[in-house]
Structure 1
Amino acid sequence: MENDTPTAALETSFDLVARQDKTEQDVKLLRSDVDEVKARLDKVSRAAARPAIGGATEAASVELKGFVDHYLRRGADAEYKSISGATPSEGGFAVPREIDAVISATLKDISPIRALAQVVQVGSAGYRKLVTTGGTASGWVGETAARPETGAPDFAEIAPPSGELYANPAASQAMLDDAAFDLEGWLAQEIALEFAQAEGAAFVNGTGVNQPLGFLSSPTSLAGDAVRPFGTLQYIGSGDAAGFDANPESRLIDLVHTMKSGHRQGASWVMNSSTLALVRKLKTADGAFLWQPGLVEGQPDRLLGYPVVEAEDMPDVAAGTFPIAFGNFRAGYLIAERHATQILRDPYTNKPFVHFYATKRVGGQVLDSAAIKLLKIEA
Structure 2
Amino acid sequence: MTTLLQRALDTRARTWSQMQEIQATAEREGRDLTAEERASWDAAEADLTAASQDVERMERMARLDAVQRDSVVVAIGDAAGENPEDRQATADAQYRDAFEAFTRRGMNGVTTEQRQLLMSNQTEIRAGATSPGSAGGYFIPTDTLARITETMKAYGGLLGAANVITTASGNPLNWPTNDDTSNVGAILAENSQITEQDVTLGQKSLGAYTYTSKLVRLSLQLLQDNAFNMESWLTRKLGERIGRAVAAHLVTGTGTNQPEGLFTNATAGVTGGVSATAAITYDDLIDLQHSIDPAYRTSAQFVTSDAGLKLARKLKDGDGRPLWEPSVQIGTPSALLGSPVLIDNGVPAPAPEAASFGFGDINAAYVVRQVAGGQMMRLEERYADYLQVGFFGFMRLDAAPDDGSAFRTFVHGDAA
Do these two structures clear the TM 0.5 threshold for a shared fold by scoring above it? Answer: yes
Preserved CA contact (<8 Å) 1:211 1:362: no
1:341 maps to what in 2? 374
- CA-CA distance at 1:378 after TM superposition: 0.8
2:117 maps to what in 1? 83
Change in CA separation of 1:342 and 1:125 when aligned onto 2, cut-off 3 Å = farther
- CA-CA distance at 1:60 after TM superposition: 1.8
1:34 maps to what in 2? none
Preserved CA contact (<8 Å) 2:268 2:411: no
Preserved CA contact (<8 Å) 1:94 1:343: yes
Aligned length: 319
Q: How does 1:155-194 map to 2 (within 5 A)?
A: 155-160=201-206, 162-167=208-213, 168-194=215-241
The question of 1:284 aligning with 2:317 is answered: yes
* Unmatched 5+ stretches in structure 2: 1-76, 126-135
Preserved CA contact (<8 Å) 1:160 1:334: no
Q: Report the secondary structure of 1:215's partner residue.
A: coil
Change in CA separation of 1:190 and 1:244 when aligned onto 2, cut-off 3 Å = closer
Q: How does 1:252-267 map to 2 (within 5 A)?
A: 252-267=285-300
Q: How does 1:125-164 map to 2 (within 5 A)?
A: 125-134=171-180, 138-141=185-188, 145=191, 148=194, 150-160=196-206, 162-164=208-210
- CA-CA distance at 1:96 after TM superposition: 2.2
Task: Give the TM-score, by structure 2 length.
Answer: 0.70
Alignment partner for residue 235 of structure 1, among 247, 266, 269? 269
Aligned partner of 1:60: which letter?
D
- CA-CA distance at 1:162 after TM superposition: 4.2
The question of 1:362 aligning with 2:413 is answered: no
Q: Report the Cα distance in structure 2 between the residues aligned to 1:146 and 1:280, rounded to whole angstroms.
A: 59
Q: Report the Cα distance in structure 2 between the residues aligned to 1:49 and 1:269, rounded to whole angstroms.
A: 42
Change in CA separation of 1:181 and 1:145 when aligned onto 2, cut-off 3 Å = farther
Q: Report the Cα distance in structure 1 between the residues aligned to 2:297 and 2:313, rounded to whole angstroms.
A: 22
Once superposed, what is the RMSD of the aligned Cα atoms? Answer: 2.7
Q: Report the Cα distance in structure 2 between the residues aligned to 1:269 and 1:83, rounded to whole angstroms.
A: 45
Preserved CA contact (<8 Å) 2:369 2:399: yes
Change in CA separation of 1:102 and 1:139 when aligned onto 2, cut-off 3 Å = same
Q: Report the Cα distance in structure 2 between the residues aligned to 1:294 and 1:155, rounded to whole angstroms.
A: 43
1:305 maps to what in 2? 338
**Quick check: which has more Rg, 1 or 2?**
1
- CA-CA distance at 1:349 after TM superposition: 4.0
Q: Report the secondary structure of 1:62's partner residue.
A: helix
- CA-CA distance at 1:367 after TM superposition: 0.6
Aligned partner of 1:171: which letter?
L
Preserved CA contact (<8 Å) 2:152 2:246: no
2:144 maps to what in 1? 99
**Percent identical residues:** 23
Deviations 1:199-253 (A, max 9, x none): 11110111222221112222x5xxxxxxxxxxxx2331112344466x8111110
Q: Report the Cα distance in structure 2 between the residues aligned to 1:81 and 1:89, rounded to whole angstroms.
A: 15
Preserved CA contact (<8 Å) 1:268 1:306: yes
Deviations 1:100-146 (A, max 9, x none): 2222233334420001100001222422221112267644336x746
* Unmatched 5+ stretches in structure 1: 1-38, 51-55, 221-232
Aligned partner of 2:373: which letter?
A
1:316 maps to what in 2? 349
- CA-CA distance at 1:64 after TM superposition: 1.4
Preserved CA contact (<8 Å) 2:156 2:346: no
